[in-house]
Amino acid sequence: MTTPDRPVDFGFEKVPWAQKAERVRAVFSSVAGKYDLMNDLMSFGAHRLWKHFTLSLTGLKAGQRALDVAGGTGDLAIGLARQVGKAGQVVLSDINPDMLAAGRDRLLDAGFAGNVECLLADAERLPCADDSFDCVTIGFGLRNVTDKAAALSSMHRVLKPGGQLLVLEFSKPVAPGLKPLYDAYSFSVLPRLGEWVAKDAASYRYLAESIRMHPDQETLLAMMNEAGFGQTRYHNLTGGIVAVHRGYKI
């Protein structure tokens, strides 16, 4: 059982367990207005390809239900809404009200209203019924969760039997020679971009650090197995800088 003063990673810093969620909220409240622009700049647009690949794995059909956890500004939710159609339903959830508001506005601007719900929610304690979704996605959100095991269990609970979880997240580079280049870019270029564009170098320094503290591919796979998922596997993208983990509720 966790205690409020138990230390937990916040990037390379150690903070009391009870403080991490609020620290993460502050980061994303600060960058919400420039989040989409920064994603394009930081990844040279590659995040769109990573999300497109993730959406290609959902197997969703018209009329089904999907949940996008920590969905922020709604990139995955928009894709999910297109897949399930007007007869289906998509729930976009996020713990941060500023990010959720940005996602709601983007969904409305894209023409999705009647079949999309926005939900302010903690990934560790999703306020959704058991066995209620055909697919759950979480894109670049799991590394910011304080209790990742609890979040995986919560997402497993709300999936229908046979439903699939897709975790799109930064991971550990596996391509030869990529790691030193990636480290140099992450710790030298990203904070400067954050300072110039979002006027917040510290938040983007945290984001770079949080990637390094996130479980690697095999560790996250084991965590999904421990949470009860079956048929688990992962796909490395861009030399392992990003990975898509997937598993089913058996």
Domain ranges of the chain: 7-174+206-249
Tokens of 18: 């009870």
Percent of all residues in the chain with a pLDDT value above 90, rounded to a whole number: 76
pLDDT tens-place string over residues 107-140: 999 898 889 999 999 999 999 999 999 999 999 9
Give the residue, 128 or 27, on which the prediction is more confident: 128
End-to-end CA distance of the chain: 27
**pLDDT range class, residue 2, cuts 50, 70, 90:** low
**pLDDT range class, residue 194, cuts 50, 70, 90:** confident
Q: What is the pLDDT of residue 3?
A: 64
Q: What is the pLDDT of residue 167?
A: 98
Q: What is the pLDDT of residue 122?
A: 95
Q: What is the pLDDT of residue 26?
A: 85
Q: Which CATH architecture group holds 7-174+206-249?
A: 3-Layer(aba) Sandwich (3.40)
Other residues' Cβ atoms within 10 Å of the Cβ of residue 237 = 17
Name the phi and psi angles at 114, rounded to 5. -65, -30
Q: Can you tell me the distance from the alpha carbon of 159 to that of 155, in angstroms, rounded to the nearest whole number?
A: 6
User: Number of C-alpha atoms within 13 angstroms, CB side, residue 112?
Assistant: 29
Query: Is residue 144's pLDDT more than 90?
Result: yes
Q: Can you tell me the distance from the alpha carbon of 166 to that of 148, in angstroms, rounded to the nearest whole number?
A: 14
With 0-12 / 13-18 / 19 or more C-beta atoms within 10 angstroms meaning exposed / middle / buried, residue 88 is buried
pLDDT tens-place string over residues 46-104: 999 999 999 999 999 999 999 999 999 999 999 999 999 999 999 999 999 999 999 99
77 to 21, 137, 220, 231: CA distances (angstroms): 23, 9, 23, 24
Q: What is the pLDDT of residue 5?
A: 76
- Rounded to an integer, the average pLDDT of 222-245 is 98
Query: Is residue 198's pLDDT more than 90?
Result: no
Lowest mean pLDDT among 193-197, 214-218, 244-248: 193-197
List the helix and strand counts (H, then E) for the chain. Answer: 10, 9
| Average pLDDT for the chain | 93
Q: Can you tell me the distance from the alpha carbon of 155 to that of 222, in angstroms, rounded to the nearest whole number?
A: 16
